[in-house]
Structure 1
């Protein structure tokens, strides 16, 4: 099922459940209310008859002379309806009934009259009986002469079945209306959900077109709802994919270019070697080993750069920056004959990958040694700012021209092509800084030296 169909199915199912539960609950409540109203009404009317029988005859002010006078007066007072009436009867034979023509005709149901006569009681008791004619609720009181003889029974009854049938008919109409409402909800819901999901269809089509044709194209964003945020997220993903593909192509182009030279040198040496000349063999062996070492370093650097975009590239832990600075300074002094100087030490902690940061820092130190003369000063230091920690290396080397400072962080770019190296040291240091949410900054003047600074956020780049 499509999302549209599933949403509509859920909507209709929930609405059906709500209407069904509401209908059955209301039906049960109304049915209980009918029963309570019947019982209360029968009890009140029966008590009124008992009070009438025990009191004086309204027409004479004296006690009722005969039972027939009592029954006649009781029938006059009964307000009969199609669902409620009364009867004064002897056994299953009616003696007096209300005069209203539109009433419940209890006298036409001998079975009911017989049961009522059998269950008559001097106290008010509401009973139930179901006959072939109706489902009754009734109260029957015997009419007793002064000598103690029971001459008749006064019965008042309600056709509960008719009232319940009326209620059932009402809820049949409710069910019909509910079905029509469900059909309307289905039609309106199908249209509304389709309109709501239309932007997703557009988004899907655009994304498919972009993935098949041009990663540089972006999805247009409008509004500030969930779909606009989804579009922003997809565009950000496309940005990362485009950068990844671009970096991959650049890496392949640069790697193939850089690997061709050592491979050509190795091939030339192997073609020109004189196998019977031990000196020549040793020379070629040494040259080939140098080229293999350079290619191994190149491959290692390429692997490091390829991993720099992965989450597991850096494993953060709380690191004492002061201790890290002193350790790096001690290791740096083994890289060359320079006037080593420790500028300052930051006394703070930082959530970083200590090995990666040390790798980047020593790479900057090696770069400073490479482009400075023996005996010149190379300074290392760290400082803690409000939101950042700076780790720097300063040298007194040849410096970098302004036009080269933009390109110095590009892969395989070398300011001096004659200088040994792969041109990947600074890009690796920059990649490590970026993986920590920071950056590599450069300040340099030709003939005076350079300062490379690892700028790392205090929050580890997670905010």
Structure 2
């Protein structure tokens, strides 16, 4: 055997045990050189941070894989809860969350569904109460109007003036009960609607005939062939209520205009006036029942705040939408979007 002799050592003397040595044989002959690596070099301190980082990344990956299904399920459930509560806030009380879990999120979803069901019962009960009350009031109010007509034939002079005031109050109560009954029926959907093609020009003409006044100008610009898919009575009622509001609140400022814009799928009926408009923060509440943005108005000067609510319910029952906006420099525009009839 030939002895081997170190030719070069890598590293300082005190780490020679962990060094890499390159040696060559001392004897002559065709024996190739040999590279010797110390086995304990793998435990070099330089390799420790890399090994820890590798194992840390592996542990992090395993943890993520284990927790991902749970975190994904929680995020999905929270998203469904958020969507459900948003629909409930819009008045869609028949909303279901659709979460089947045995933890706190599952119990929360069950509570939300129970709350929505309870709200639905309360709102439907309130609407039925309004409908029944308005229906029951119609008969006595009718009798009162007949009695007033008989009294007017028996009295004259000052008595006639008092009877006229009483007749005006009875007429206002009759209008209120009719509005309440219309609103309740539209909310409850007690009558099955027969949506059919309705002539926009004919419906607008009927509405103008109902609400026209000698001291107010109503300009109509509607294509004669425009037709919408709607219930005819609800269509006329919606246009008439808009005209009544415009004539009452803005008729003194200028003409009221009624137009129609026809697209491939829809027909927009637009009623606009030249009045002062409404405050910007009141636009979103204009369609709320019993809302009056000017609280100084009483029943005689401003109604009870049901006109635009009835408009919205009538249009929505027919599958349409209502939008309100202020015009520049002044005026209010209400746009009713209906499905176009072929």
TM-score (norm 1): 0.40
CA contact (8 A) 2:289 2:305 kept: yes
Structure 1, unaligned stretches of length 5 or more?
1-214, 224-231, 260-276
Do 2:318 and 2:338's aligned partners in 1 also have CA atoms closer than 8 Å?
A: yes
Give a deviation string over 1:228-262, Cα, whole Å, max 9, x none: xxxx9xx9998587346336548969x99xx9xxx
The answer to whether the 8 Å contact 2:93/2:119 transfers is yes
**CA positional deviation for 1:313:** 5.5
Aligned counterparts of 1:387 and 1:236: Cα–Cα separation in 2: 36
- Which of the residues 165, 190, 215 maps onto 1:287? 165
Q: 1:347 to 1:413 in 2, by over 3 A?
A: same
Aligned residue pairs: how many? 217
Task: Give the conservation status (yes or no) of the 8 Å contact 1:401–1:445.
Answer: no
Deviation at residue 431 of structure 1 after TM alignment: 0.8
CA distance in 2, matches of 1:333, 1:403: 28
Counterpart check, 1:361 vs 2:243: no
2 CA distance for matches of 1:373 and 1:218?
A: 43
Does 2:119 correspond to 1:242?
A: yes
Q: Tell me, yes or no, if the aligned pair for 2:227 and 2:341 is still in contact at 8 Å.
A: no
Q: 3-state DSSP class of the match of 1:351? A: strand
**Any idea what SS the aligned residue of 1:338 has?**
coil
Aligned pair in 2 of structure 1 residues 313, 397: CA closer, same or farther (>3 Å)?
A: farther
> What TM-score comes out, normalization by structure 2 length?
0.52
| Distance of aligned partners of 1:396 and 1:217 in 2 relative to their CA distance in 1, 3 Å threshold | closer
Cα distance in 1 for partners of 2:199, 2:162 equals: 48
Describe the superposition over 1:386-441 as per-residue Cα deviations: whole angstroms up to 9, x where unpaired.
Answer: 33211111100121111211222121222332424232111111110010111221
Question: What does residue range 172-251 of structure 1 map to in structure 2 within 5 Å?
Answer: 220-222=97-99, 242-243=119-120, 245-246=122-123, 248-249=125-126
> Which of 189, 199, 210 is equivalent to 1:320?
199
| Counterpart in the other structure of 2:326 | 444
> 2:184 is matched with which residue: 302, 306, 311?
306
Instruction: Answer yes or no: is the 8 Å Cα contact 2:327–2:333 preserved in 1.
Output: no
The residue number in structure 2 matching 1:422 is 304
Q: Distance in 2 between matches of 1:359 and 1:381?
A: 16
Larger Rg over CA atoms: 1
Report the alpha carbon displacement of residue 304 of structure 1 after superposing the two structures with TM.
0.6
Comparing 361-370 and 315-324, the one that deviates more: 315-324
3-state SS of 1:374 partner: helix
8 Å Cα contact 1:411/1:427 also seen in 2:
yes
Residue 391 of structure 1 corresponds to which residue in structure 2? 269
Higher mean C-alpha deviation, range 356-365 or range 450-459: 450-459
Give the counterpart of 2:223 among 313, 323, 345: 345
Q: Is the 8 A contact 2:246 2:273 kept in 1?
A: yes
Quote the Cα distance in structure 2 between the aligned partners of 1:357 and 1:216. Answer: 27
Partners of 2:113 and 2:262 in 1: CA distance: 32
Say yes or no: does 1:455 pair with 2:337: yes
- RCO (CA 8 Å, sep 6+): is it higher in 1 or 2? 2
Partner of 1:140: none
CA contact (8 A) 1:400 1:445 kept: no
Instruction: Verify the 8 A CA contact 2:207 2:239 in the aligned structure 1.
Output: no
Change over 3 Å in CA distance of 1:387–1:412 after alignment to 2: same
RMSD: 4.1
Match of 1:379 in 2: 257
1:431 matched to which residue of 2?
313
